Structure 1
């Protein structure tokens, strides 16, 4: 069966939502489906209406895949600077991957008679209004959600969905030896809701109170200005290098105000790190009681939880063990099998 997966443009750097979609793309190709990835640039708030330069850039990279994720050799890639229904290739199954791709996919489905699937990975009010997000959920596409809390949110809006929980690549993100030097790791980002400001606040407090603790951050951007001088920032680590960072850390900090599914938290847990996180549904829904939680936006609460674990080796060891235990249920291979089975069912209906 021909399957087209529509993503909102090309991601130049590692992005969790894209990684999940690409993993499913590879699984579909491995299962024998004829898969095309369509990177179709969508309009964002503040975009200039003249897309001339962007069109040239997309035309030059018309069939270029992601540089940071290896796609299956059989996967075809097509890139366009403008998402319109006519740009979507004909297929038996069309898959939208977010609020900005769902309307065009739904229109293409209505025009061609294809089966339509909508992979919902977040409540995307950071790229659309709440009304637009809810309207996209109500389009005539089969909704697939990546976490239990999203399943509940859609149900509250009167929208049925199928839950295929995100997982972790356990071949890459696996436990290692206990770190010889206590270390704290966090992801930083220019996205405001990731709360890099709180990460910097926690790190400054740890540097002042526990100068022997190794402090590391990673992310796609440059080193944040607010980090203490002792902290090390790793920009755009490859997956194997990121796994090494997790394994070298005693504790991972998530300061986000919101997450669809806190994939770095899951990866850190799978590598055996304890977790301190804001109490958000996108973490608690899969991490359960493994992390120590603080309210969203509570920098002092995050700091107290981090310092409390660093000061108590027995509690830290117990938290690390609980992370590993909970993470055993987060398997990307199983998630991919379930997603492929869902597409197979849609393909049979389409056929």
Structure 2
């Protein structure tokens, strides 16, 4: 098949959703499919800015991106990921039909790209919408929901998103869970030999729960003075982070595996909402028990009382109570960690690619979910 994936602009730093799409592009190219990943320079988001001044600045920036572009498509590369040589990475001015190649299938990957893909002519390929979150944090809820109600065929990454699509549109989506790269994330330090260390992803977005997560760590530190914590993320170290908490910016995969996940006994996921929550699953593959807010995405692999503790979102105290319970019970924590490893092993790239091909080949969603 000839398949076009449509991502937002080419990002200089890793993004979770982009990483998954690039992984699939590599795997599909390796399997012999013809793959192109399209990146528009602008999605014309200026009209969604909150003030007239912000809209004017954004509109001017959009215009500047289009002036003097020249060639209709420019070959590019992903600076933070190794791509298969047969995957074509292309940057185009905008998602106008003249810049989009003909294909058997075209896959939108963001609510705004879905609006453009839905309007493209049929020659650009059968239209699919790869849904990795309910992106109300990235656009007006009514507009986001209309893309979920569109006539495009829909692929989701988690059970709660499948339910959301069904509730909004009546459609049955294909479910393709995000995989773990087991060649990169695996146990190198036995869970029973680890110190009291908690790891957590940091993001400046409020809904990622960093404020609640750090507050929970401070509460747990009061009960366990020897507690260590290591946070990681793409942003610079936040000013509010206590000095006793370590921070790793833009960790390479070996650093993430060894310095963060395998050095931790517990992974903390305080997000209010997650489409999937891949870092938690990566941590599980590396032997961490999990404490997570009930954010939707982690429901597919964190089972309360089996490999982790699930608490209500948006509150530090329940997260702290769960941390304290596991930090004070090594036998329970180690049993959870062992189960985490076994659960994570179910989520492989091969299995997910097979489901994705099922979707793109029009096989029944009931078979692929």
TM-score, with length taken from structure 1: 0.92
* Cα distance change of structure 1 residues 83 and 219 upon mapping to structure 2, 3 Å threshold: same
For the Cα contact (< 8 Å) 1:85–1:104, is it kept in 2? no
Is 1:232 aligned to residue 246 of structure 2?
A: yes
Among candidates 35, 40, 49, match of residue 59 of structure 2: 49
Residue 118 (structure 1) aligns with: 129
Alpha-carbon distance, 1:159 to partner: 2.2
CA distance in 1, matches of 2:69, 2:77: 11
Counterpart among 124, 147, 153 of residue 142 in structure 1: 153
Return the offset for 1:283.
0.9
Aligned ranges 1:229-268 → 2 under 5 Å: 229-244=243-258, 245-268=260-283
Q: Which moved more, 1:235-244 or 1:36-45?
A: 36-45
Residue aligned with 1:117, SS: strand
Counterpart of 2:199 in structure 1 is 185
1:81 is displaced (CA, Å) by 4.0
What is the distance in 1 between the residues matched to 2:262 and 2:66?
42
Q: 1:243 to 1:320 in 2, by over 3 A?
A: same
Q: Is the 8 A contact 2:290 2:302 kept in 1?
A: no
Q: Which secondary structure does the structure 1 equivalent of 2:354 belong to?
A: helix
- 1:288 aligned partner: 303
Question: Could you say if the C-alpha distance between residues 113 and 67 of structure 1 is closer, same or farther in structure 2, counting changes exceeding 3 Å?
Answer: closer
> Which secondary structure state, in structure 2, belongs to the residue aligned with residue 35 of structure 1?
strand
Alignment-derived partner of residue 349 in structure 1: none
* 1:16-53 deviations in Å (ceiling 9; x for gaps): 11111111111121121221110113233325101255
Compute the RMSD of aligned alpha carbons: 2.2
Cα deviation code 1:270-312 (max 9, x no counterpart) = 1110110101221112322322122111101101111121111
What is the deviation of 1:258? 0.2
Q: Cα distance 1:56–1:257, how it changes in 2: closer, same or farther (>3 A)?
A: farther
SS at match of 1:288: coil
* Aligned CA distance change for structure 1 residues 56 and 292 (closer, same or farther; 3 Å): farther
User: Matched residue of 1:5: which SS?
Assistant: strand
Q: CA separation in 2, counterparts of 1:161 and 1:341?
A: 12
For residues 70 and 206 of structure 2, the distance between their equivalents in structure 1, rounded to whole angstroms, comes to 32
Asked if the contact 1:5–1:97 (Cα under 8 Å) also holds between the matched residues in 2, the reply is: yes
2:107 aligns with 95
Offset at 1:203?
2.4
Distance in 1 (CA, whole Å) between partners of 2:227 and 2:67 is 48
For 1:159 and 1:246, the matched residues in 2 are separated by: 38
Contact 2:194–2:264, Cα closer than 8 Å, also in 1: no
What is the count of residue pairs matched by the alignment? 345
Any conservation in 1 of the 2:5–2:106 contact (CA below 8 Å)? yes
Task: Provide the residue aligned with 1:170 in structure 2.
Answer: 182
Cα distance, 1:54 vs. partner? 4.1
Structure 1, residues 207-241: CA drift from partner, whole Å, max 9, x if none? 33323222100000011222221111000112222
Instruction: Return 126-135 or 263-272, whichever deviates more.
Output: 126-135
SS of 1:68 mapped into structure 2: coil
Q: Which residue of 1 aligns with 2:321?
A: 304
Q: Is residue 303–residue 309 contact of structure 2 (8 Å, CA) maintained in 1?
A: no
Query: What is the CA distance between 1:206 and its match in structure 2?
Result: 3.2
Asked whether the equivalents of residues 105 and 124 of structure 2 are also in contact (C-alpha less than 8 Å), the reply is no
Structure 2: gaps (5+ residues): 50-54, 364-369
Q: Provide structure 1 residue ranges, at least 5 long, that are not aligned to the other structure.
A: 347-351
How many angstroms does 1:90 deviate by?
Answer: 1.7
Q: Equivalent residue for 2:89? A: 77
Pick the aligned partner of 2:140 from 123, 129, 135: 129
